[in-house]
Amino acid sequence: MTMNQAKGLILKLNCPDQQGIVAKIASYVAGHSGNLVEFAQFSDSLGGKFFARLEIDTSSLDVEIQDFIEGFGTLGRSLRADWHFRVLPYRMRTAVLVTKTDHCLNEILWRAQMGELPVEITSIIGNRTNCMDLAKRYAIPFHHIEMDGSKRENGFHEIHSLLQQEKVELTVLARFMQILPDWFCSEYQGRLINIHHSFLPAFIGANPYRQAYERGVKLIGATCHYVTSDLDAGPIIEQEVERVQHFHSPSDLARLGRNCERNALARGIRFHVHDRTIIDGNRAIVFPD
């Protein structure tokens, strides 16, 4: 269940695993007349950590929402927790970076238009103009930034300036065929999502469908992940697969893979914007809806 059109809060939390966490959090919410609509939790016995995502109906709170959020600090600190509240309803300000292909961009725009994703797409940024007409059809600003050769570094600084000006909260690489510089990855850590056209960690880098064909794989896939400075190695949010037959050519694999890419990226964005992910080192804890 989602509450993005209702008044409420989402709370994400992680802390060292210990007795009584659920009872303490539930008691805090109930103590202020809040109603727990969802309480998803995961105790990592190997790592000794506790992860949780809560949706709270605040329509009957006996305090102001901001006072409720600030008051949670006492409990959060006692649990030695990291936590984050999001006030509902909301739409996450999102920029989409593209190069030539538009199937992933199409999926994002369509789902946003249908109301499936609570995002406000501030702009589409491309190092090619192939997706400009699609942006125009949706009346979304398109910025063409040249990044070939020596223009690459300056191009990333232009993108950075746009993201700052537009107060972007999430940047999606929808088949943006450029390797991001380390400084860019570092600044937007946890706010950069990429779709890679293979089932990572297999076939990292360029031409994964050709690599898959040459290896004679029986399954191909796509991986939606957070971006880090390590190429195609960030925490995985979602993956999708399709079965491959011996007679499929590299172009057939690319055709099948496009379905995987669209679905994995759409779900990955959905999980992120609904605050259903918590990054834990090299992995992402995901609470699916």
Q: Are 12 and 83 in contact (CB under 8 A)?
A: yes
Determine the Cα angle at 5 with ends 124 and 194, to 5°: 30
Q: What is the distance between the alpha carbons of residues 285 and 273, in angstroms, rounded to a whole number?
A: 14
**232 carries an active-site annotation:** yes
* Residue 100 neighbours by CB distance under 10 Å: 13
DSSP 80: T
Q: How many CB atoms neighbour CB 255 within 10 A?
A: 13
Q: Which member of 57, 102, 232, 275 is catalytic?
A: 232
Distances (CA, A) of 85 to 67, 88, 147, 213, 256: 12, 10, 37, 45, 39
Could you give the CA distance from residue 147 to residue 128 in angstroms, rounded to a whole number? 9
- H or E segment at 155? helix 152-165
Active site residues per annotation: 232
